[in-house]
Amino acid sequence: MAQQDSARQAAEGTPAAETPEPAESGEDLEFLDDTADAEERERAHRERGTARPITVVGNPVLHRRCQDVTEFDDKLTQLIDDMFASQRAAEGVGLAANQIGVDLRVFVYDCPDDDGVRHVGAICNPVIEELPAESRVLDESNEGCLSVPTAYAPLARPDYAVCRGQDAQGKPVVVRGTGYFARCLQHETDHLDGYLYIDRLSKRDRKDALRQMAEGTPRYETVPND
C-alpha cells in the first residue's frame, strides 16, 4: 500500500475511532506484538534483501488469487527480505508478493496506526475476519497503491481489522489493526485475493484513479505491461 496522500488526509482530519472488542470466535485471541523492536527488525530484513521492481495494474499476477504458502524455508525468508527492501525503495507501508511478481500468499508491512505507533511484520496465508455488523464502523479515507502509482481515491473500509495467518516459520499468528493500519491489512490481503483497491471503486472513481496514474510518474522502478 502506498503512503496516504498526507495533504488530503490532514485536510480531512479524520479522527481515530475507539478500538472495538474482537468478535468471539470460540477461542481466545492472542494478538501478535508487531511493535516491539520495529525499527531494528525492518532494517535487518531490508539490509538482507534486494529491491525488485513493482508490478502495476494490468499485470496478470495482480488479477488472480495467489497460491498458498506451503513451504516455510530459506526461499520464503529471502522473499520476505526482498519484499521489505522493495517496500522501502518504493516508500510504501505494505507490499504483497504479487506486487513483485511472485505468486504466493504473503505480504509485509511497515505501517503506523492512527496513534503513530509503528507496526512491522510479515503474514503468510492471511484471512481477514468478518466483523459483526454492530462492530463495523466504516472509515472513508484516501487510499493509494504502489501498483497504481501516483493515484489516490477515497475508499470506505472498516476502521478495525483482525488478520489471521502464519509467520515465516509457519506458526499461527493473529494481528489486529485500527485506522490506517487496519486499512493496510485489508488492502494487502485483497492483493493476494487478486483485487486492487481500484476494483472496489465506482466506475467513475476507478477511471479517475487510472487517469491520475497515466498522468503521473512513479518514483520507483516498475514492470512494464508489455
Query: What are the catalytic residues?
Result: 188
Asked if 97 contacts 79 with a C-beta cutoff of 8 angstroms, the reply is yes
Grid cell for residue 79: 522473499
Q: Give the torsion through C-alpha atoms of 80, 104, 31, 180, to 10 deg.
A: 80
Asked if 92 contacts 3 with a C-beta cutoff of 8 angstroms, the reply is yes
Nearest CA to 106 out of 98, 115, 117, 114 is that of 98
User: What is the b/e burial string over 59-74, where b = at least 16 CB atoms within 10 angstroms of the residue's CB?
Assistant: bebbeeebeebeeeee
Residue 94's DSSP bridge partners are 109
Q: What is the rounded CA–CA span in Å between residue 1 and residue 5?
A: 12
- Which one-letter amino acid corresponds to residue 4? Q
Q: What is the rounded CA–CA span in Å between residue 87 and residue 107?
A: 10
Q: What is the rounded CA–CA span in Å between residue 109 and residue 192?
A: 14
Question: Where do the H-state alpha helices sit in the chain?
Answer: 6-12, 38-48, 74-89, 179-192, 203-215
